[in-house]
Amino acid sequence: MNEVGFLVVVGVVLATALAIRRLRKGRGLWVRGLTPWERALLVKYVPHYGRLSAAGKQRFESITATFLHEKRWEGVGTELEEEMRVMIAASAAQLLLGRPEI
Protein backbone atom coordinates (compact mmCIF):
# COMPACT_ATOMS: atom_id res chain seq x y z
CA MET A 1 0.00 0.00 0.00
CA ASN A 2 1.39 3.40 -0.89
CA GLU A 3 1.62 6.35 1.48
CA VAL A 4 -1.54 8.04 0.22
CA GLY A 5 -3.59 4.87 0.66
CA PHE A 6 -2.24 4.40 4.16
CA LEU A 7 -3.11 7.99 5.11
CA VAL A 8 -6.63 7.58 3.72
CA VAL A 9 -7.16 4.41 5.78
CA VAL A 10 -5.83 6.10 8.93
CA GLY A 11 -8.06 9.12 8.28
CA VAL A 12 -11.16 6.97 7.83
CA VAL A 13 -10.42 5.02 11.02
CA LEU A 14 -9.89 8.22 13.04
CA ALA A 15 -13.03 9.87 11.63
CA THR A 16 -15.09 6.78 12.44
CA ALA A 17 -13.71 6.60 15.97
CA LEU A 18 -14.48 10.29 16.59
CA ALA A 19 -18.00 9.93 15.18
CA ILE A 20 -18.72 6.95 17.42
CA ARG A 21 -17.35 8.76 20.45
CA ARG A 22 -19.53 11.81 19.76
CA LEU A 23 -22.62 9.64 19.34
CA ARG A 24 -21.94 7.78 22.57
CA LYS A 25 -21.16 10.92 24.53
CA GLY A 26 -23.99 13.00 23.13
CA ARG A 27 -26.85 10.56 23.31
CA GLY A 28 -25.78 7.93 25.78
CA LEU A 29 -25.97 5.24 23.11
CA TRP A 30 -25.10 1.69 24.08
CA VAL A 31 -25.51 2.43 27.77
CA ARG A 32 -27.99 0.11 29.41
CA GLY A 33 -30.33 1.53 32.02
CA LEU A 34 -30.26 0.82 35.72
CA THR A 35 -31.31 -2.52 37.10
CA PRO A 36 -34.16 -2.71 39.63
CA TRP A 37 -31.55 -3.31 42.36
CA GLU A 38 -29.61 -0.17 41.36
CA ARG A 39 -32.84 1.85 41.24
CA ALA A 40 -33.74 0.58 44.72
CA LEU A 41 -30.38 1.86 45.99
CA LEU A 42 -31.24 5.31 44.67
CA VAL A 43 -34.60 5.24 46.43
CA LYS A 44 -32.99 4.10 49.68
CA TYR A 45 -29.89 6.30 49.81
CA VAL A 46 -30.51 9.37 47.61
CA PRO A 47 -33.27 11.53 49.14
CA HIS A 48 -33.03 13.97 46.22
CA TYR A 49 -34.04 11.19 43.80
CA GLY A 50 -37.38 10.67 45.55
CA ARG A 51 -38.32 14.34 45.11
CA LEU A 52 -37.74 14.39 41.34
CA SER A 53 -40.54 14.32 38.79
CA ALA A 54 -40.86 11.25 36.57
CA ALA A 55 -38.90 13.02 33.82
CA GLY A 56 -36.29 14.13 36.36
CA LYS A 57 -35.91 10.58 37.66
CA GLN A 58 -35.46 9.28 34.12
CA ARG A 59 -32.76 11.90 33.42
CA PHE A 60 -31.06 11.21 36.77
CA GLU A 61 -31.05 7.47 36.03
CA SER A 62 -29.67 8.08 32.55
CA ILE A 63 -26.79 10.18 33.87
CA THR A 64 -26.14 7.68 36.68
CA ALA A 65 -26.15 4.76 34.23
CA THR A 66 -23.74 6.59 31.92
CA PHE A 67 -21.29 7.16 34.77
CA LEU A 68 -21.78 3.65 36.08
CA HIS A 69 -21.15 1.89 32.78
CA GLU A 70 -18.67 4.18 31.04
CA LYS A 71 -16.34 5.21 33.86
CA ARG A 72 -13.90 3.16 35.89
CA TRP A 73 -12.93 3.76 39.49
CA GLU A 74 -10.23 2.19 41.58
CA GLY A 75 -10.42 1.94 45.33
CA VAL A 76 -7.31 2.96 47.22
CA GLY A 77 -6.86 0.60 50.12
CA THR A 78 -10.34 -0.84 49.64
CA GLU A 79 -12.20 -2.97 47.16
CA LEU A 80 -15.02 -1.13 45.40
CA GLU A 81 -18.24 -3.03 45.83
CA GLU A 82 -21.09 -2.69 43.36
CA GLU A 83 -23.16 -0.66 45.84
CA MET A 84 -20.28 1.81 46.20
CA ARG A 85 -20.00 2.18 42.43
CA VAL A 86 -23.72 3.00 42.16
CA MET A 87 -23.46 5.61 44.91
CA ILE A 88 -20.41 7.24 43.31
CA ALA A 89 -22.24 7.42 39.98
CA ALA A 90 -25.35 8.85 41.68
CA SER A 91 -23.23 11.50 43.42
CA ALA A 92 -21.79 12.56 40.08
CA ALA A 93 -25.28 12.60 38.55
CA GLN A 94 -26.49 14.97 41.29
CA LEU A 95 -23.80 17.45 40.31
CA LEU A 96 -24.73 17.30 36.63
CA LEU A 97 -28.51 17.01 36.75
CA GLY A 98 -29.24 20.72 36.32
CA ARG A 99 -26.79 21.27 33.48
CA PRO A 100 -28.64 21.44 30.15
CA GLU A 101 -25.67 20.37 28.02
CA ILE A 102 -25.26 17.06 29.86
Residue 73: give the domain boundaries.
Answer: 31-102
On whether both 53 and 13 belong to a single domain, the answer is no
On whether both 48 and 93 belong to a single domain, the answer is yes
Mean pLDDT along residues 23-50 = 80
pLDDT, tens only, 39-76: 999 999 999 899 999 999 999 999 999 888 888 888 78
On whether both 66 and 26 belong to a single domain, the answer is no
Cβ within 8 Å of residue 49, ≥6 positions away = 42, 43, 57, 60, 90
66 and 97 in contact (C-beta within 8 Å)? no
Does the pTM surpass 0.95? The reply is no
**What is the distance between the terminal CA atoms of the chain, rounded to a whole angstrom?**
43
On whether both 59 and 19 belong to a single domain, the answer is no
Q: What is the DSSP letter of 97?
A: T
